[in-house]
Structure 1
Amino acid sequence: MAKVMIVDDALVMRKTLSSILGQMGHTVISEVSSGAQAVAEYEKLKPDVVTMDLNMPGMDGVKAIETIMERFPEARILVISALGQKHMVFNAIEKGAKNYLVKPITMDKLSAVMASVVKG
């Protein structure tokens, strides 16, 4: 199973994802609340998968994805976004995100998408 870093400015979402991913057998190695923290933590931890929110204060998720992918082109990033952020999702995919999920998420949806992202 994968080592996962969760990036979301909402504490409830980070805890929800952490719980679901743990039930699926993945190991959450870091939970951060901003794009800048995501970049710094990625460099230190090199997780197998990053779940990335897009709309965050400071460095948003698209810029974080762009920065991580420039430095680590092998990174596997899964965008988890609200429905109203489709333009940001497309930008994130263009910058290198591997897949996306629209909030609210379910274990079934997350499981299917995680399997595709982990495999590359």
Structure 2
Amino acid sequence: MNSIMIVDDTAFTRHVLRSIFETLGLHVVAEAASGEEAVRNYCLYKPSLVTMDITMPGMNGLTASRKIMELDKDAKIIICSAVSRHDTVIKAIQAGARDFIAKPLQLERIEWAVQKVLGTGVDVRRRDRHVKQIAEVLV
């Protein structure tokens, strides 16, 4: 089973992403609120995929992504950020991100990115049963 680590300094965003991933049938093994915590947790849990915010206190998401890529050149990172200027997206890709999702988060965009990066499908029936629940969390 694919495992996910969510990195965002906002507890609400971590909660929303966890709900989305669980709806898609994915297992969240770790969360982190800073870049430093993300690097430590990556070493402990070796998740299949990391979602990473950019703007966080201490080590930012771009630096954390580079450090994770130094530890594991095959790491799969998706940047999820409200900062979506062209130069920021380029910096994210240069840091090792496989995709970039602009906030506000959208279920379909997250699902597409996860499928692309992990090379897997998701349980569509399970997703459809829970779309209403996710919509309620996002509102």
- Structural mapping, 1:22-33, within 5 Å: 22-33=22-33
Deviations 1:47-81 (A, max 9, x none): 00000000001000000000000110000000001
Percent of pairs with identical residues: 38
Larger radius of gyration: 2
- Structural mapping, 1:1-120, within 5 Å: 1-119=1-119
Structure 2: state its 5+ residue gaps: 121-139
Deviations 1:18-60 (A, max 9, x none): 0011000000011110000000000111000000000001000
TM-score when scaled to structure 1?
Answer: 0.94
1:79–1:92 contact (8 Å) kept in structure 2 = yes
1:81–1:89 contact (8 Å) kept in structure 2 = no
CA distance in 2, matches of 1:15, 1:100: 19
When the two structures are aligned, how many residues end up with a matched partner? 120
2:2–2:26 contact (8 Å) kept in structure 1 = yes
Structure 1: state its 5+ residue gaps: none
1:89 offset after TM fit, Å?
A: 2.6
Runs (4 or more) in structure 1 with deviation over 6 Å come to: none
TM-score when scaled to structure 2?
Answer: 0.82
